[in-house]
Structure 1
Amino acid sequence: MENSTTNLTTKESELNNFPLDVIVPVSVTMVLIMVICLLGNSIVCLIVYQKPAMRSAINLLLANLAFANIVISAVCTPFFILFLCSVRTPVIACKIHAFIYYVFSMEATFILTAISVDRYFIIVHRKDKLNPRLTKIVIGITWVVSIVLCFPPVFDGFSSYTFSNVHCFPRTSKGIADTIYLSILALTLFVVPIIIMLCTYLRILDTVRRNTCRVQNFPESLSVSQASKLGLRRIVSPKPMVDMAFKTRAFTTILLIFFVYLACWLPYCLATTIYWFDETKTLTPTKEIIFVGLTYLNPAINPIIYCLRIKKFREACLEIAPKLCSLFPKAPHRTKRRVKPSAIYECTDKVQSSTVL
């Protein structure tokens, strides 16, 4: 940039002047997505915070995921709208936007990966290894890794957060060091987590399929007395096992969340990976709006999935809703008259009385 524009994200000629018929519908849609995301994910955090019984390992992970989604929506969506409206902002605004976006997106990806690994151990190996204490340690580690990996481009240490059409991306500009950094970032943010989630979920689906076939092939008409006559003994577990039926039902909800994540993030991952490493490639404004907008849509869909699929979440929402409504000021009610309009009031020197006709 020239000296006169060093404190701005772009030169005047580089700003995309989107037409009004694009700015208005896209901005309204983004505001609607932001409201749904903030409201839904705030309820998730509030439920886990207020109800100790809901603080299981999986719920703590989902609450952390909801918190990351809240920050992305509350902080990054306004920047998206400002960039869409071609508002010139300082360079630091672009860096703050990109840093928060990538840190909290990486954290959300790590949490989804941790959930997939947890479901894998529970359903495939029948071992519930993740307890609330270990979950908090995992969450702390993921936050540290996310911040450390996304921090260098803020001060142009490795790569640099630069402005595009409606979004700020890390770009390579200093040779091999930047290329290595962006390779690590792409592997950590996109490639490795998606591969881990795909492998674990495919293994889980195979296990569920084999267990279903095994149950269906078991003769239901075989009673205990018949089994004893055939010399079969009933096997009694010496200790309580993991509730596999409940864990399997919960897995379908987690799998749906993963599919939504994949649909919303895969176009962005492929496009930005190419954009990072090939300086000759640029995203068109329309593609960038669609790809980035899908990543903002993902956090708004998750609470809807919880509400449709999780009974306890619906019950907690119904319980919290009246409390939330009580926070808003109530409209003053009209005072009812305690006497009939036809009453005649007679005043005397001693008392004031009323006589009803």
Structure 2
Amino acid sequence: MACNRSAAEAYANLPPNGSHAAAPGPAAPPAPLRVSLAALMALMTAGGLLGNAALCVIVYRRPAMRSAVNLLLATLAFSDVMLSLCCMPFTAVTLVTVRWHFGDAFCRVAAALYWFFVLEGVAVLLIISVDRFLIIVQRRDRLNPRRAKAVIAASWALSFCVAAPSLAAWPLVEVPARAPQCVLGYTELPAGRAYVLALVGAAFFAPFAVMLGSYLGILHAARRNAVRVHDQSRGLDLRRLPRAGLRRLQRQQQLSLDLSFKTKAFTTILILFVGFSLCWLPHSVYSLLSVFSRRFYCGPSFYATSSCILGLSYLKSVFNPIVYCWRIKKFREACLELLPQTFQILPRVPERIRRRIQPSTVYACTESQSAV
């Protein structure tokens, strides 16, 4: 490992002073804190696995929900499911025991899978953001389910190509001794640093810039359209409008309703983007510091810092299903239908009957009717 080699052997380009000749070992957090973090990660694993798997099952079982956006969301959920299965349990075990028990080869495989599924999730968010920008700003709805499947396949292939160097005995990935999972370690090789810059740029900084620009453009277009519809419909007298004016007003009202629907869907994607940014900005900065700063990587607090930042990066897998349940009514209803009847408090009512029953209209009374 880089922190255990001598300055003359591993860092010939560094000045031969005492600060670089040896480095203190990583200080693991106290046992109660490690157990608490491992238990929290186990809960996040279960929550992310169940919530994202539910979305995949819903899209698979309901052909009516296989729209382009839903296919992309299902792909995002599947990448989070695989991340919860292939990486999070081993990190939780290493947190408790402060030792990697799964071999050097699987260490590299786990690191490659971690970046692979993260890159795929980021790629899906980027595709959805650009699609929303084209629909709302450019008014071009190009992404149908067939094209969405082709774009999803291309994103999987590109994500694998970016994450694959970790499998080819890449020297930066080291067996956990300073972190609870295989992470990028310090290096002075120009090729290694260039790869890390490309990896972190593809996983966060480049998608963040594109998505931020898309969302700013969408917000500006939504505000401009809302002001235009308001100005055009302001002060109109329906009794004096000709038939052509009435048709134009109806089109404006339909545009306002369509804009409201698209803005609601855009708000859901924007919340996912905010969650992605908050969870992955610290990890991206942490990865760059680990590779470019030997003092940070070999510091005594690196293990504790790694544990907290890795836990925050995994939190995104749990955050997404919560947003789906909060913002998407069909997802909530489909999740309730997936539950066994023994876990349901209220009896299940068929969807056709739910649409026909409207208690708010049955019991509504006007001022001229009796209150009894």
1:92-131 to structure 2, matched below 5 A, reads 92-131=105-144
Alignment partner, residue 99 of structure 2: 87
Task: Tell me how far 1:29 sits from its aligned partner.
Answer: 0.8
Give the aligned residue type for 1:302: N
Alignment partner, residue 205 of structure 2: 191
Q: Secondary structure at the match of 2:294?
A: coil
Q: How far apart are the structure 1 equivalents of 2:170 and 2:318?
A: 34
* Bigger CA radius of gyration: 1
Alignment partner, residue 259 of structure 2: 244
Task: Tell me how far 1:14 sits from its aligned partner.
Answer: 5.2
1:62 to 2:77 alignment? no
Q: Deviation per CA, 1:188-236, whole angstroms, max 9, x where unpaired?
A: 112111101100011111111122222333445524442329x957448
Alignment partner, residue 20 of structure 1: 31
Stretch moving more, 287-296 or 214-223: 214-223
Task: Tell me how far 1:44 sits from its aligned partner.
Answer: 0.2
Distance 1:48 1:24, change over 3 A: same
Stretch moving more, 272-281 or 127-136: 272-281
Q: How far apart are the structure 1 equivalents of 2:55 and 2:64?
A: 14
Stretch moving more, 212-221 or 105-114: 212-221
1:213-252 to structure 2, matched below 5 A, reads 213-220=227-234, 222-228=236-242, 232=245, 234-235=247-248, 243-252=258-267
More helix by share: 2
1:256 to 2:271 alignment? yes
Distance 1:311 1:247, change over 3 A: same
Give the aligned residue type for 1:191: F
Q: Secondary structure at the match of 1:226?
A: coil
Q: How far apart are the structure 1 equivalents of 2:283 and 2:139?
A: 35
1:1-357 to structure 2, matched below 5 A, reads 17-85=28-96, 86-89=98-101, 90-157=103-170, 159-163=172-176, 164-171=178-185, 173=187, 175-220=189-234, 222-228=236-242, 232=245, 234-235=247-248, 243-282=258-297, 284-322=302-340
Q: Secondary structure at the match of 2:296?
A: coil
**What is the root-mean-square deviation of aligned Cα atoms in Å?**
2.7
**TM-score normalised according to structure 1 size:** 0.80
Distance 1:226 1:273, change over 3 A: farther
Larger RCO (alpha carbons 8 Å, 6+ apart): 2
Q: Secondary structure at the match of 2:183?
A: strand
Alignment partner, residue 8 of structure 1: none
Alignment partner, residue 347 of structure 1: none
Judge conservation of contact 1:61–1:139 (CA < 8 Å) in 2.
yes
Task: Tell me how far 1:17 sits from its aligned partner.
Answer: 4.5
Q: Secondary structure at the match of 1:126?
A: coil
Structure 2: gaps of 5 or more residues: 3-23, 345-372
Q: How far apart are the structure 1 equivalents of 2:193 and 2:175?
A: 15
Distance 1:224 1:138, change over 3 A: same
Task: Tell me how far 1:279 sits from its aligned partner.
Answer: 3.2
Number of positions where the alignment pairs a residue of Structure 1 with one of Structure 2: 313
Judge conservation of contact 2:109–2:166 (CA < 8 Å) in 1.
no
Stretch moving more, 243-252 or 139-148: 243-252
Distance 1:177 1:324, change over 3 A: farther
Q: How far apart are the structure 2 equivalents of 1:45 and 1:324?
A: 23
Structure 1: gaps of 5 or more residues: 3-12, 327-357
Give the aligned residue type for 1:208: A
Stretch moving more, 157-166 or 176-185: 157-166
**TM-score normalised according to structure 2 size:** 0.77
Q: Secondary structure at the match of 1:280?
A: helix
Q: Deviation per CA, 1:16-74, whole angstroms, max 9, x where unpaired?
A: 54422112211111111111111110110000000000000000000000000011112
Q: Secondary structure at the match of 1:227?
A: coil
Give the aligned residue type for 2:144: N
Question: Could you tell me the percent identity over the aligned residues?
Answer: 36
Q: Deviation per CA, 1:94-147, whole angstroms, max 9, x where unpaired?
A: 212211110000000000000100100011111111011111111111111111
Judge conservation of contact 1:60–1:135 (CA < 8 Å) in 2.
yes
Give the aligned residue type for 1:67: F
Judge conservation of contact 1:158–1:181 (CA < 8 Å) in 2.
no
Task: Tell me how far 1:248 sits from its aligned partner.
Answer: 1.6
Q: Secondary structure at the match of 1:166?
A: coil
Judge conservation of contact 1:159–1:182 (CA < 8 Å) in 2.
no
